[in-house]
Amino acid sequence: MKKTILYILLGLFVCTNLFAQDEESADVVEKDKPVRFAWESGMLIDQQTSHIPTVKTLEMVIQHKFGSIDNGSSDLWGIYAPAGNIRLGLNYVVANNVQIGWGISKRNMYNDFNAKWTIFEQTRKNQVPVFVTVYANAAIDGMNRDDVELFNFEEPGQKFDYKFNNRLSYFAQLIIGRKVTNALSVQGAVSFSHANFVPQWHDHDRVGLHFNGRLKVSPQGAIIFNYDVPLQIDGISEQHPDWNSTNTPGWDGPYHPEPNLSFGYEVSTSTHAFQIYMGNSPAMLLQDMMINNNTGIDFDNFAIGFTITRLWSF
Amino acid sequence: MKKYRNLLTLSVVVFVGSLLLSFVTVQDQKDPAPWDVPEKYVKMENPYAGDESLDRVGKILYIKHCRSCHGNNGEGDGPKAASMKTKIHSMTAEAFKKQSDGVIYYQSIIGRDEMPNYESKIPDEEDRWALVNYIKTLK
């Protein structure tokens, strides 16, 4: 399995270099500009798009997911529910198509430090047919763990020594996108998530696939969607396929995270993008979504949410 | 007791008065001063004049960046126009239309005071001229 992953990574590396050669030859023949208006914002619900504003632009991101709608009108379909998640973020464009950012989430008080680089942009004459973007983050679980008694599975009876290292998690993603028509833009992505600390039996590593897109229905409005699938790859799973409750006391797995589906509507203006949506994962940090999401795509699990971005140029 | 009643009456009068005053907004917008456009822009040629392939681009940019203040048809009646300190004049007026393309470019992209600068939001020169072309078609 490790060989398969290695081949995939090598393949992607070769592909990106092929695009690079195309770009160089394009410069010689004729300057081909990037396509216009592929995305209105760098965010698409919880996910990233290939869009990066112009250099020296500061972007504020406000993400809010309410509680699930399963209680109906008693808590206004989750809007007044105590559960929910919020992420506030700031991104800054340091160089052409390079952005760095920081965000803090309510769930586990994650502090995430992220970077995004759109390596290639789809061009109008199709000399570069797709957008190629890489995104990565490192997050610190900021919860107060001093009062939490964690069971030490390795040495039962001993108190678990929760260290700073246990707070760290990582996410890396390669995004390939294309503006198909003036109305439709789509993206596919592959990601790798790692968390240093997970519940017993759960996997520390997760490979995921992501599909998302935007269908414009008016000059400022678009229907948007995200679908994120955590893959079940036995080769990198720490869960042994032969485990059962007899040979492994306490085992009632297997433990695999659920996929996330979200869909909504986007309205954009000169400096804002406003997205209102419904999604089944309470997570906003992408590695949290890919590793820890245990709420499946069931109508009762969906929650209303919104994402707002605001730009300031300097 | 009478003292408290007077105090209560006074409080009600102040509250109701404040409430009514809150509906009164000062509509005192000043007329814009004449534009001081640098010579470079006055003489600037529009390399995309008459390029119909840019019509859609100009319209999208206008809707995204300009409509909220200048209105659907450039009449200066967008939803944010009333909150400006300066009156927004119609872009369909003859006085506006007879300006050179370079002057309209300067007014639209470089801006001044409440008219924001759009150089970073519309970085591509071709897109800027597409917007100028679209503004000139407003009726």
pLDDT at A252: 83
Six-digit token pair at A112? 């995430």
Query: For B7-50, what is each residue's pLDDT tens digit?
Result: 888 888 888 878 777 766 555 788 888 899 999 999 999 999 98
Print the domain residue range for A186.
Answer: 33-240+252-313
Residue A265: inside a domain: yes
Q: How confident is the prediction for chain A on average, in pLDDT?
A: 89
Residue A96: inside a domain: yes
Q: Is the pLDDT of residue A186 over 60?
A: yes
Contact: B127, A36; criterion CB under 8 Å: yes
All domains in chain B, ordered by first residue: 2-137 (1.10.760.10)
Instruction: Tell whether A218 lies on the interface with B, counting CB pairs under 8 A.
Output: no
Residue A54: inside a domain: yes
Smallest CA–CA separation between A5 and chain B, in Å?
40
Residue A25: inside a domain: no
Instruction: Tell whether A313 lies on the interface with B, counting CB pairs under 8 A.
Output: yes
Mean local confidence (pLDDT), A231-249? 87
Whole-angstrom distance, CA of residue A41 vs CA of residue A57: 13
Q: Which residue is it, tokens 């379909």?
A: A77
Six-digit token pair at A135? 């995104």
Contact: B68, A270; criterion CB under 8 Å: yes
pLDDT at A149: 66
CA nearest neighbour of A266 among A313, A219, A210: A219
Residue A88: inside a domain: yes
Contact: B121, A33; criterion CB under 8 Å: no
Residue A109: inside a domain: yes
A220 closest CB neighbour out of B56, B64, B120 = B64
Residue A94: inside a domain: yes
Phi, psi of A238 (to 5 degrees): -90, -5
CATH classification at residue A186: 2.40.160.40
Those residues whose C-beta lies under 8 Å from the C-beta of residue A115, and which sit 6 or more positions away, are A98, A99, A100, A101, A135, A136, A137
Q: Which residue is it, tokens 């009108």?
A: A73
Instruction: Tell whether A36 lies on the interface with B, counting CB pairs under 8 A.
Output: yes
**How large is the greatest C-alpha to C-alpha distance in chain B, in angstroms?**
82
Residue of A31, A32, A33, A36 to mutate when probing chain B, most B C-beta within 10 A: A36
Six-digit token pair at A141? 């679980």
Mean local confidence (pLDDT), A121-149? 90
Contacts of B59 in chain A (CB under 8 A): 219
Beta bridge partners of A226: A212, A262
Least confident of A108-122, A224-238, B11-25, B55-69: B11-25
Mean local confidence (pLDDT), A207-217? 97
Residue A211: inside a domain: yes
Query: For A2-45, what is each residue's pLDDT tens digit?
Result: 555 555 555 544 444 444 445 445 445 568 899 999 999 999 99
Contact: A220, B127; criterion CB under 8 Å: no
- What is the count of residue pairs from A and B with beta carbons less than 8 Å apart? 33
The number of folded domains in chain A is 1
Contacts of B60 in chain A (CB under 8 A): 36-37, 219
